[in-house]
């Protein structure tokens, strides 16, 4: 894994976050060299958009790790936009599947502008400029 960083979570422990990159991206969380969670992001062809497909962070909830994963992705993929669908626990037509704490996590990340407010693929800057017009 070429792109990786360390993060001290709210529990005071150090975690490693890395990006498994292919056409799609998987943000992976490790503790002492053991994978404990991940976020799967699917590349969408339009405007360098990546869509949250799966949150598998059950072993690291409420520690700030999920947010740091998405922030790290945004640091590496500076000109990309992260999106996520609303979910009610069922698999969506696009294959994304957010259950349990997933929808609440996505809502919190939207509020912090880490994930785009809509699935619209325009960048935050494009949205704010058109909102001002």
Give the pLDDT score at 132.
45
Contacts of range 83-89, beta carbons closer than 8 Å, 24 or more positions apart? 83/44, 83/49, 83/50, 83/51, 83/52, 83/115, 83/116, 83/118, 83/119, 83/120, 83/121, 84/51, 84/52, 84/109, 84/110, 84/115, 84/119, 85/51, 85/119
Give the pLDDT score at 92.
53
Give the pLDDT score at 112.
94
Q: What is the pTM for the complete model shown?
A: 0.80
């Amino acid at each position: 894994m070429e792109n990786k960083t360390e993060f001290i979570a709210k529990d005071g422990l150090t975690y490693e976050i890395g990006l498994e990159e292919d056409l799609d991206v998987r943000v992976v969380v490790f503790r002492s060299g053991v994978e404990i969670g991940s976020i799967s992001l699917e590349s969408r062809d339009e405007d360098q958009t990546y869509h949250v497909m799966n949150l598998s962070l059950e072993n690291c909830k409420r520690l700030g790790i999920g947010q740091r994963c998405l922030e790290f992705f945004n640091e590496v993929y500076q000109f990309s936009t992260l999106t996520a669908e609303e979910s009610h626990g069922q698999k969506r037509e696009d294959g994304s599947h957010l259950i349990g704490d997933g929808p609440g996590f996505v809502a919190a990340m939207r509020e912090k502008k880490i994930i785009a407010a809509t699935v619209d693929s325009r960048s935050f800057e494009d949205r704010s400029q058109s909102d001002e017009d």
